[in-house]
């Protein structure tokens, strides 16, 4: 596995974006996996070169147990036990043993002057952990707490996925031959 997309999603929107990012990457790099965060390994495969992490922005950053609980309640889902998100996964993630590029994205509501981004929070944690973080932080927009995604966001996510692969050595920038 050369690349891995890990995502968290309360209502499914970040999951859709993660799938589109994965599809874009897969066009250029067949060796890419997509995992929901609770199934993601704490120790990354030694051959991994690129990690992409996506999460919904909740309460101005990465989700916490309380915000996920609020989300489940909003979705009308029964609370069945402790939940697990990208924040907790990153805390447990073992630092890379060799250079691994990382990129992050989130979904959030486009509200002028409202700060906070799960993608920026995850990016900071990955940088501190020793990942090779470039400027690859992206937000995809939802129209409300439960979604849906704005028109065109899945196409944008797929194109972003294509462009991420060019971070890897030996991969050509998008549009180059």
Ligand X SMILES: Cc1cc2nc3c(=O)[nH]c(=O)nc-3n(C[C@H](O)[C@H](O)[C@H](O)COP(=O)(O)O)c2cc1C
Contact residues: ligand X, CB under 6 A: 9-14, 56-60, 67, 70-71, 74, 107-109, 114, 116, 142, 145, 147
Q: Do 149 and 142 meet the contact criterion of CB atoms below 8 Å apart? A: yes
Q: Do 14 and 147 meet the contact criterion of CB atoms below 8 Å apart? A: no
Nearer to ligand X, 98 or 113 (CB): 113
- Spatial distance between the Cα atoms of 43 and 145, rounded to a whole number of angstroms: 32
Nearer to ligand X, 7 or 101 (CB): 7
Nearer to ligand X, 56 or 121 (CB): 56
Q: How far is the CB of 134 from ligand X (least distance, A)?
A: 23
Q: How far is the CB of 140 from ligand X (least distance, A)?
A: 8
- Spatial distance between the Cα atoms of 152 and 55, rounded to a whole number of angstroms: 19
Q: At what angle do helices 153-165 and 13-28 cross, to 10 degrees?
A: 40
CB count in 10 Å sphere of residue 79: 10
Phi/psi of residue 48, each to 5°? -65, 135
Q: How far is the CB of 6 from ligand X (least distance, A)?
A: 13
Q: How far is the CB of 78 from ligand X (least distance, A)?
A: 16
* Residue the block writes with tokens 């996506």: 54
Q: How far is the CB of 29 from ligand X (least distance, A)?
A: 24
Nearer to ligand X, 57 or 158 (CB): 57
Q: How far is the CB of 43 from ligand X (least distance, A)?
A: 26
Q: Do 8 and 55 meet the contact criterion of CB atoms below 8 Å apart? A: yes
Nearer to ligand X, 48 or 103 (CB): 103
- Spatial distance between the Cα atoms of 74 and 56, rounded to a whole number of angstroms: 15
Nearer to ligand X, 41 or 116 (CB): 116
CA end-to-end span of the chain, whole Å?
24
């Amino acid at each position: 596995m050369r690349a891995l997309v890990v995502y968290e999603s309360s209502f499914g929107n970040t999951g859709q974006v993660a799938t589109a990012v994965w599809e874009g990457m897969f066009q250029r790099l067949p060796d890419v996996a997509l995992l929901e965060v609770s199934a993601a390994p704490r120790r990354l495969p030694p051959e991994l070169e690129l990690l992409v992490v996506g999460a919904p922005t909740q309460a101005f950053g990465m989700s916490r147990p309380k915000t996920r609980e609020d989300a489940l309640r909003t979705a009308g889902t029964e609370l069945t036990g402790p939940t697990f998100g990208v924040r907790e996964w990153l805390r447990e993630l073992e630092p890379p043993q060799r250079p691994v590029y990382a990129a992050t994205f989130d979904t959030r509501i486009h509200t002028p002057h409202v700060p906070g981004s799960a993608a920026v929070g995850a990016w900071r944690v990955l940088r501190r952990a020793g990942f090779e973080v470039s400027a690859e932080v992206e937000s995809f927009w939802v129209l409300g707490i439960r979604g849906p995604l704005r028109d065109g966001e899945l196409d944008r996510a797929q194109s972003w996925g294509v462009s991420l692969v060019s971070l890897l050595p030996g991969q050509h920038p998008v549009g180059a031959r």
